Structure 1
């Protein structure tokens, strides 16, 4: 008799094979970003570096371009550039995860890889049950489910998910995103000596705390780690109202920094800061790699934010992950920089310089659809813009100290914007893929991550100054 997990995996593989050509023919298909082989991808999971291999698992719905009973898909790489799709890690085939193997994390213990994830269960009326589960592997490829290790504690709703596990001074710790019975978002902490028996410590921090105020009704995908002498709690709160240029997406991602008291389980910290200024960034996960770097990868999407309008749906797929980024904590803020390994994708370097005064500049030889672009700005008096394929642009207004990303909405074609205040702009680094752009400002001081869907025939790259701008541009085509 075939195991239900194996049966579901076989059906998912059949779906990949059936729609492979449809997916591959899409001109919006990503060239260097991780994307689903078919169907829907969302949160990165189980990001880990083990025995020289990077593992990125991901939430995956193979049977449609919508959410549902999620699988864990799996990519591996030795260099953060070339990725190989591995066998399906987890399928929702048991009583405790029959409606989805939801997000979680990976650790290594006694030379085995442990995946911690949330088992989602719903009854016929839609009532939710939630279980924290574990699966174990000796090779990092094939996983055996070990079942439930943690049940829902009192005082919280079944919106209780996304375990992130790490080790500190010989003990294991787990944070989980949740809401209390008053539907207020928070992160809770558990402790274990053996990864199987967990003791509840309480709330790490919560919506309503004096340092952060009201931060919504649910916190997803928490990640707690030490970086450059600070403890960082990264999470994705839902239910924050827009405030000026802040919190413009339906749901947010950001962090607080301070110090975690491992005895009490409480974290003392400052205010909440958004991590990314673009349209699509959510549920990031970090790992400490074997080189001692804190790396992060995020989902280039936001739940419930125009997901049904992505044009890739016609080709049987939706959503991608960001490029791997290196995190640092400098001047009381998180800094994100593209992983240095990405430089290995470069070829055909070209450099141009210009002084623009109330004019446009286009070098046709710089046009393209997939490239890295470095813009070094010596002077901006007025505004300076970079326009990508007549569909998206980044503009700095020096008179307002305002940096704005604009794109044509893929819902209705209207112009939409995301902005942040920044005193000066000296450097802009763009990673442009077929249907996405990631912009790192001043070496990662700010980041704008967004999807965009330009006309296939338009490969233009245009620079514009209203006033005077002096700059140098270097462009690399990317493999």
Structure 2
């Protein structure tokens, strides 16, 4: 008798020990059991955010489902169990990444079905499931819904993003690999979500060929329209993960790159593109996706706080691994994305203005806290350097600011993948810093979201709080501290 994969997942969730883990975050989405990776099918529907995600409840068994959770405030998540299981011939080895789109009558979920044969070969199928209530999900009887693509591409074609244009036509964006093992993105169109026409590769006619051979595979592509805060002009931002690129500048130190281009989409051409910019400078950040909305609002993004091949974490002792970032609202400033965390920094305790000298200065409202939000406005003009330390002397994450450099040091944590990173910063005597620390994950935002830095940060369970220290005098002009625990 065929295995009931939904029943097997339910049994693992029922027996899960994840809730007992002192490292489990309070306000970041984590799986009820097993492994989480890419966010999928993100949408805001009738005032509630829904996140589907790559979910392996039987981990380390490699069977990928779609998990499902929802929230009304992007802080407190309700788990709804798996939505889709790999139980058809066209997705037998994994319900892989995809997106959601509102049709007006129902919600369609698009994903890549992964299939492997006994010889190790693979095939990928673009599939659709539908739901009218976000509780019951039905795979379409005509799956796979995308006919075979023209020659010239390998089986590495995946991660469909689908949206509806103002003319009522649906478009699909796919990450792909050409037969010569170079990466690209493909565009398709459909009047009804079932009959898809191949329109061609996403082109960059104004980029002087810079992206013609840019890595060997492009994953998790997203196109999103974002306004410039200064001019009000709308731009199309192409977010994607090109695997195998050489670092085009400072950064790009993770297993695979994750970044964006800004331009204007005309047909299949992204015109007026500039440089490829890294989206987040932290140790763990990949596979971002923008939330599909059924109401006006800012572009909102979540990402996987992880890297390929880096699953050996302390969380595995409690039978779960990985989580999603906090939600970030996107805007453009001077041609660059800014990411503003969708978190209640304005709540909590107001910090009085004060001067911090050479002695460590603990922030009293956060003493002992392992889950908090911190918003600081500083005057550093009388300091040659300053530091912010999360945790204790023996178990800590250090953020050291000297001149125009930030050094992030997590060598005194329990996380084994990378310990130190240096980031160049603009020179400003009055920096604004926002920090979200949630037990085993830390997200830093500087200059009103112009720079973000995301990382796992496994401190000892008794290591909490935040300390400021300065070489010279550091003026704390104000801020707020919001405990979440």
**Fold shared per TM-score above 0.5:** yes
Match of 1:387 in 2: 389
SS of equivalent to 1:269:
coil
Q: For residue 213 of structure 1, report the CA deviation from its aligned partner.
A: 6.9
| Alignment equivalent of 1:328, drawn from 321, 327, 331 | 331
Are the equivalent residues in 2 in contact too, given 1:152–1:160 (CA < 8 A)?
Answer: no
Distance 1:412 1:77, change over 3 A: closer
Report the 3-state secondary structure (helix = DSSP H, G, I; strand = E; otherwise coil) of the residue aligned with 2:344.
helix
Q: Does 1:149 align with 2:154?
A: no
For 2:296 and 2:60, the matched residues in 1 are separated by 37
In the alignment, is residue 315 of structure 1 matched against residue 318 of structure 2?
Answer: yes
Q: Which whole-Å CA distance do the structure 1 matches of 2:155 and 2:347 have between them?
A: 46
Cα 1:413/1:38, change in 2 over 3 Å: closer
| CA distance in structure 2 between the partners assigned to 1:88 and 1:195 by the alignment | 24
The secondary structure found in structure 2 opposite 1:173 is strand
How far apart are residue 210 of structure 1 and its match? 2.6
Aligned to 1:378: 379
Gaps of 5+ in 2: 228-233
Summarize deviations over 1:275-308 as a string: whole Å, max 9, x none.
101111111111253242211111111112x322
What residue number does 1:216 align with? 215
SS of 2:434's equivalent in the other structure is strand
Matches of 1:287 and 1:205, distance apart in 2: 24
Q: Which residue of 2 aligns with 1:123?
A: 117
Which consecutive unaligned segments of at least 5 residues does structure 1 have?
none
- Return the offset for 1:365: 4.4
Partner of residue 32, structure 1: 27
Q: Within 2, Cα distance between the matches of 1:292 and 1:145? A: 30
Counterpart check, 1:160 vs 2:157: yes
Which runs of structure 2 are paired with 1:46-125 in the superposition (5 Å)? 46-65=41-60, 68-125=62-119
Alpha-carbon separation, structure 1, partners of 2:361 and 2:345: 29
Number of positions where the alignment pairs a residue of Structure 1 with one of Structure 2: 465
Report the CA distance between 1:423 and its aligned residue: 2.7
Aligned-residue Cα RMSD (Å) equals: 2.3
| Alignment correspondent of 2:456 | 451
Q: 1: distance between equivalents of 2:292 and 2:108?
A: 16
Q: Give the direction of change, closer, same or farther, for the CA distance of 1:450–1:415 in structure 2 (3 Å limit).
A: closer
Aligned: 1:179 with 2:177 = yes
Give 1:315 shift.
0.7
Q: Aligned residue for 1:278?
A: 282
TM-score (norm 1): 0.91
CA contact (8 A) 2:42 2:292 kept: no
8 A contact 2:366–2:483 mirrored in 1: no
| Alpha-carbon displacement from aligned partner over 1:13-45 (angstroms, at most 9, x marks no partner) | 0001112xx211111011110000000000110
1:136 is matched with 130
Are the structure 2 counterparts of residues 108 and 61 from structure 1 closer, same or farther at C-alpha, using a change threshold of 3 Å? same
Q: Are the counterparts in 2 of residues 130 and 151 from structure 1 also a CA contact under 8 Å?
A: no
In the alignment, does 2:483 pair up with 1:477? yes
Structure 1 residue 82, shift from structure 2 partner: 2.6
CA positional deviation for 1:244? 5.7
Q: 1:428 to 1:266 in 2, by over 3 A?
A: closer
Deviation at 1:444, TM superposition (A): 0.4
Judged with a 3 Å threshold, the aligned counterparts in structure 2 of structure 1 residues 345 and 299 are, in CA distance, closer, same or farther, namely farther
Shift in Å, 1:195: 0.7
User: Corresponding residue for 2:262?
Assistant: 257
Instruction: Give, in whole Å, the separation in 2 of the partners of 1:459 and 1:465.
Output: 20
| 1:424-462 C-alpha deviation (Å, 9 max, x unpaired) | 261110011010111111110100111110111111422
Deviations 1:167-213 (A, max 9, x none): 11221111001111111111111111111111111111489963457
Q: CA deviation at 1:243?
A: 5.7
Deviation (angstroms), 1:58 = 0.5
CA distance in 2, matches of 1:251, 1:413: 14
8 Å contact 1:149–1:197 — kept in the other structure? yes
Please name the residue that 1:442 is paired with. 447
What residue in structure 2 maps to residue 354 of structure 1? 354
Contact 1:403 1:422 in 2 (8 A): no
Could you say what secondary structure the match of 1:9 adopts? helix
Q: 2:250 — aligned with what?
A: 245
